[in-house]
């Protein structure tokens, strides 16, 4: 008979390999979410009615449907319908990223709206185009203001990535599940998985917090 502890130790390298996959999914999804979220937020604040409506529909959809349903819908439904042959890993990145875009857009929309609109007016009064004002004046401030919310979004996406295991992605959760069901050491294995998520969450939040402090505007309190 082996001690439960030994199973955890001996499977740790394997499970931690899954952590690399998890990190890959999260980094990919957060990046895609940023790439979609900022333009969506700009459209929601500055866009004309038609394009605003399209953005709203996007956000409604991804905020309104459970992530598990989204994964199945895209991976087993939509992707095969359009003959998109991608791995479970990329499917997870894509789905979490598309959904993250909807949530991130709300974070950035809020931070854009919190900047006094006189600053954009001042930029235009100096001869900047509307676009220059947004890029050089509004966004640098909006991104700073969005960082705490963005870090929160990171912690949510990280934990939601566990659900990618249903597609067979070999990340933390699916590797843990694999070992646990083989060895019947369910409790220690899931404690171990929980600890890894816990540590990854707070490491990420810690570094985002440092980044936030580094970008902090002197004398400016928020």
User: What residues make contact with another protein under the rule CB under 8 A?
Assistant: 115-116, 118-119, 121-129, 132, 136-137, 140-141, 144, 217-221
What radius of gyration, in Å, describes the C-alpha atoms of the chain? 21
CB of 146 to another protein, least distance (A): 13
Q: What tokens were used for 90?
A: 């990329």
| Nearer of residues 34 and 137 to another protein, judged by Cβ | 137
Q: What tokens were used for 93?
A: 């990145």
| Nearer of residues 13 and 218 to another protein, judged by Cβ | 218
Integer CA distances (angstroms), 68 to 37, 106, 142, 212, 218, in order: 21, 21, 31, 32, 43
| Nearer of residues 115 and 191 to another protein, judged by Cβ | 115
Give the Cα separation of 19 and 176 in Å (integer): 10
Q: Is the dihedral of CA 32, 145, 40, 121 positive or negative?
A: negative
Q: Is the dihedral of CA 174, 175, 178, 179 positive or negative?
A: negative
Give the Cα separation of 165 and 160 in Å (integer): 10
CB of 130 to another protein, least distance (A): 10
Contacts of residue 218, Cβ cutoff 8 Å, sequence gap at least 6: none
| Nearer of residues 10 and 119 to another protein, judged by Cβ | 119
CB of 45 to another protein, least distance (A): 18
| Nearer of residues 144 and 159 to another protein, judged by Cβ | 144
Identify the CA nearest to 188 among candidates 200, 199, 176: 176
CB of 212 to another protein, least distance (A): 14
| Nearer of residues 25 and 142 to another protein, judged by Cβ | 142
Q: What tokens were used for 121?
A: 């007016």
CB of 31 to another protein, least distance (A): 23
CB of 134 to another protein, least distance (A): 12
């Amino acid at each position: 008979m082996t001690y439960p502890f030994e199973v955890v130790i001996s499977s740790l390298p394997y499970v931690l390999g899954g952590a690399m996959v998890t990190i890959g999914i999260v980094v990919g999804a957060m990046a895609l979410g940023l790439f979609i979220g900022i333009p969506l937020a700009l459209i929601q604040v500055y866009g004309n009615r038609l394009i605003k409506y399209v953005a709203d529909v996007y956000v409604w959809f991804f905020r309104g449907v459970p992530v598990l349903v989204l994964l199945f819908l895209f991976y087993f439904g939509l992707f095969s319908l359009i003959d998109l042959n991608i791995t479970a890993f990329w499917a997870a990145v894509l789905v979490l990223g598309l959904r993250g875009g909807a949530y991130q857009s709300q974070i950035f929309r809020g931070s854009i709206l919190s900047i006094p609109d006189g600053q954009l007016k001042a930029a235009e009064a100096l001869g900047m185009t509307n676009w220059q004002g947004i890029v050089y004046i509004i966004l640098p401030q909006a991104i700073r203001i969005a960082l705490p919310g963005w870090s929160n979004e990171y912690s949510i996406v990280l934990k939601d990535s566990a659900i990618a295991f249903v597609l067979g992605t070999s990340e933390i959760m699916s590797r843990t599940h694999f070992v646990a069901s083989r060895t019947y050491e369910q409790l220690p294995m899931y404690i171990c998985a929980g600890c890894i998520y816990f540590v990854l969450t707070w490491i990420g939040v810690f570094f985002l917090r440092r980044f936030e402090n580094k970008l902090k505007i002197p004398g400016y309190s928020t």
